[in-house]
A = this chain, B = another copy of it.
Amino acid sequence: MEFTLDATCGNARATTIKTYHSTIKTPVFMPVGTAASVKALDTRDLIDLLDTHIILANTYHLYLRPGDEIVKEFGGLHGFTKYNRSFLTDSGGFQAFSLSDISKANDEGIEFQSHIDGSRHFFTPQKVLDIQYNLGSDIMMILDDLIALPATKERLKLSVVRTTKWAKASITYHKKMQERGIGRTQNIFAIIQGGVDPAFRRQSAQELTALDFDGFAIGGLSVGEESQAMYDTVAWTTQFMPANKPRYLMGVGTPEDIVEAIDRGIDMFDCVMPTRNARNGTIFTTFGRLNIKAARFKKDHRPIDENCSCYTCQNYSRGYLNHLFRAKELTYYRLASIHNLHYYLQLTKDAREAIIQGDYATFKKDFYARRSQ
Contact surface of A with B, Cβ cutoff 8 Å: 35-44, 61, 65-66, 70, 73-74, 80-82, 298-299, 301, 311, 315-317, 319-320, 322-324, 326-327, 329-331, 333-335
Count this chain's copies in the assembly.
Answer: 2
Do the beta carbons of A35 and B327 come within 8 Å of each other? yes
Do the beta carbons of A70 and B320 come within 8 Å of each other? no
Find A327's partner among B65, B298, B299, B322 (CB 8 Å cutoff). Answer: B65
Question: Known interface pairs A66-B298, A74-B320, A82-B315. Does A41 touch B327 (Cβ–Cβ under 8 Å)?
Answer: no
Residues of B within 8 A of A298 (CB): 66, 70
Q: How far is B319's CA from A65's CA once the two chains are assembled, in angstroms?
A: 12
Question: Known interface pairs A299-B70, A299-B73. Does A37 touch B331 (Cβ–Cβ under 8 Å)?
Answer: yes
Across the A-B interface, the 9 shortest Cβ-Cβ residue pairs: A40-B330, A35-B327, A37-B329, A66-B323, A37-B331, A73-B299, A42-B331, A330-B333, A39-B330
Residues of B within 8 A of A74 (CB): 299, 301, 317, 319-320
Residues of B within 8 A of A40 (CB): 330-331, 334
Q: Which residue of B lies closest to A332 (CB)?
A: B37
A-B contact pairs, 7 of them (CB 8 A): A40-B334, A43-B315, A66-B319, A70-B323, A74-B317, A80-B323, A334-B334
Q: How far is B328's CA from A61's CA once the two chains are assembled, in angstroms?
A: 13
* Of listed A39, A44, A298, A329, residue having the most chain B CB within 10 A: A329
Q: How far is B152's CA from A307's CA once the two chains are assembled, in angstroms?
A: 62
For the complex with contacts A42-B316, A61-B327, A74-B299, 9 further pairs of A-B residues with Cβ separation under 8 Å are A36-B320, A37-B327, A37-B329, A40-B334, A65-B326, A70-B299, A73-B301, A81-B320, A334-B334
Closest Cβ–Cβ distance, residue A304 to chain B (whole Å):
14
Residues of B within 8 A of A37 (CB): 324, 327, 329, 331
Q: Which residue of B lies closest to A40 (CB)?
A: B330
Q: How far is B36's CA from A322's CA once the two chains are assembled, in angstroms?
A: 12
* Of listed A42, A61, A311, residue having the most chain B CB within 10 A: A42
Residues of B within 8 A of A326 (CB): 65-66
* Of listed A81, A315, A316, A330, residue having the most chain B CB within 10 A: A330
Do the beta carbons of A330 and B329 come within 8 Å of each other? no
Q: How far is B331's CA from A334's CA once the two chains are assembled, in angstroms?
A: 8
Q: Which residue of B lies closest to A67 (CB)?
A: B298
Q: How far is B45's CA from A316's CA once the two chains are assembled, in angstroms?
A: 13
Question: Known interface pairs A44-B315, A65-B323. Does A331 touch B73 (Cβ–Cβ under 8 Å)?
Answer: no
Do the beta carbons of A334 and B330 come within 8 Å of each other? yes
Q: How far is B330's CA from A73's CA once the two chains are assembled, in angstroms?
A: 24
Q: Which residue of B lies closest to A39 (CB)?
A: B330
Q: How far is B45's CA from A42's CA once the two chains are assembled, in angstroms?
A: 13
Q: How far is B24's CA from A242's CA once the two chains are assembled, in angstroms?
A: 64
Residues of B within 8 A of A70 (CB): 298-299, 319, 323
Q: How far is B318's CA from A74's CA once the two chains are assembled, in angstroms?
A: 11
Closest Cβ–Cβ distance, residue A278 to chain B (whole Å):
11
* Of listed A36, A315, A320, residue having the most chain B CB within 10 A: A320
Do the beta carbons of A320 and B44 come within 8 Å of each other? no
Do the beta carbons of B82 and A36 come within 8 Å of each other? no
Q: How far is B322's CA from A74's CA once the two chains are assembled, in angstroms?
A: 13
Closest Cβ–Cβ distance, residue A140 to chain B (whole Å):
21
Q: How far is B83's CA from A315's CA once the two chains are assembled, in angstroms?
A: 10
Closest Cβ–Cβ distance, residue A103 to chain B (whole Å):
21
